Structure 1
Amino acid sequence: MPTSQPSRSGPAATARLTGWFTPVVTAAGYDLEDLEVRSAGTRSVVRVVVDRDSGVSLDDVAEVSRALSEVLDAEDDDPGRSPYVLEVTSPGVDRPLTLPRHWRRNVGRLVTTAVDGQELIGRVVSVDDDGVTLAVEKGGAKKGQVRKAAGNRTLTWAELGEGRVQVEFNRPAGHRDAHLVHEGPDEGDDTDDTDETDDESLTADDVDDELDEHDGSADAAAQDRGEQ
């Protein structure tokens, strides 16, 4: 009687691969933020999201992808298996802020969160063991209105709801992301930004902040084990 094969998608596969990948990602100095396994025809797509305090570059993504591919080769040795497609990326700008490290990595950015059932918008000033300090802004609910500073507010982790980073077209002077403000293309400039994936100074956080125009560019490091 043939033995049953482990599921290659769904919760069981996600738990199995999380167990394989977490020690490798942690040892490399990253956090495993998310792992998803889904079926795509005869293949199984494994999407892994990693992050760290200093950010994740495209070279980092490629390095992690190679390490995880080796784990799959070593652990998933069934010769009759369907191939995996491994995708490694960094968190997108739409990733909810649910853990202290998420908030810490977004100091200086404008976020929205729920406090006592009310939406609060403010810039992350600081993060510590007790909670988060926001430079709260009020107003600006209607088009054309400008939000005004309403002072700092410190919130404990128990008070703080899930946060969301807000896309800003005009960042204040001296802001950590001021260099990302798009001033418009130069005359005669036909350069395709998506071709800059080999620029070591381009981080995956930068890609996220460019309004996800290059969403998935970090996935260029994806490795299809079934076609090697």
Structure 2
Amino acid sequence: MSEIITKVTDTVQPILDEHRFSLYSVEYVQEGGSWYLRVYIDKDGGISIDDCASVSDELSEKLDQIDPDPFADQYFLEVSSPGVERPLRNEQDYQDAIDQYINVSLYQKIKGKKVFEGTLKDINQEELTLIVKEKTNRKEIKIPRELISKARLAIEF
């Protein structure tokens, strides 16, 4: 599985470099008896459907030329944006999310809650600081990083 991810990453990167896009992630998963190769791409200002189609066409052609073929089964190729509510997976994602609205899920409760939404104010090795709305006030909450199970960008309503 990791061999496939590596080969796809190595194959798609020059295509993305040419278009000035970045690679968000690659996944190769089986769902309902079918295999899916999903390539998530991004760029400043966001990815369009035309961007995805262009990369998909170029990547499909390049993948057909890989020898030996790493794919044991037929698969569906999907190229898309990671979406507006993309997960924060690494340190750079968290740094890029400073001053943005995020959703944080925890392994255990803090102040009686396991889910917080707010604006990411700061992050360091030990904790992140969120500004959350509570009724009519804004409040700063510090969340220890070891308690975070998932974090993602969110849409503020």
Shift of 1:13: 1.9
Aligned to 1:210: none
Q: Distance in 1 between matches of 2:151 and 2:94?
A: 8
Decide whether aligned partners of structure 1 residues 111 and 23 sit closer, same or farther in structure 2, where only a CA change above 3 A counts: same
Q: Distance in 1 between matches of 2:34 and 2:105?
A: 40
Contact 2:132–2:139 at 8 Å: present in 1 too? yes
Which residue of 47, 50, 53 maps to 2:38?
47
Larger Rg: 1
Task: Normalising by structure 1, report the TM-score.
Answer: 0.47
Contact 1:110–1:121 at 8 Å: present in 2 too? yes
Which residue of 98, 108, 123 maps to 2:119?
123
Which residue of 42, 48, 64 maps to 1:73?
64
Shift of 1:17: 1.8
Shift of 1:68: 0.8
The Cα offsets for residues 123-167 of structure 1, whole Å up to 9 and x where unpaired, read as 24699xxxxx9671242xxxxxx252236x999xx89x6632233
Which residue of 134, 137, 144 maps to 2:132?
137
Which residue of 135, 139, 153 maps to 1:150?
139
Aligned to 1:111: 102
Which residue of 54, 79, 83 maps to 1:88?
79
Contact 1:108–1:124 at 8 Å: present in 2 too? yes
Aligned to 1:18: 9
Q: Distance in 1 between matches of 2:57 and 2:30?
A: 21
Q: Distance in 1 between matches of 2:80 and 2:90?
A: 19
Decide whether aligned partners of structure 1 residues 83 and 135 sit closer, same or farther in structure 2, where only a CA change above 3 A counts: closer
Count of matched residue pairs: 149
CA-based RMSD: 4.1
Q: Which has the higher contact order (CA 8 A, sep 6+)?
A: 1
Which residue of 147, 150, 153 maps to 1:165?
153
Where 1:15 maps in the other structure, the secondary structure is helix
Task: Normalising by structure 2, report the TM-score.
Answer: 0.64
Decide whether aligned partners of structure 1 residues 103 and 55 sit closer, same or farther in structure 2, where only a CA change above 3 A counts: farther
Contact 1:138–1:149 at 8 Å: present in 2 too? yes
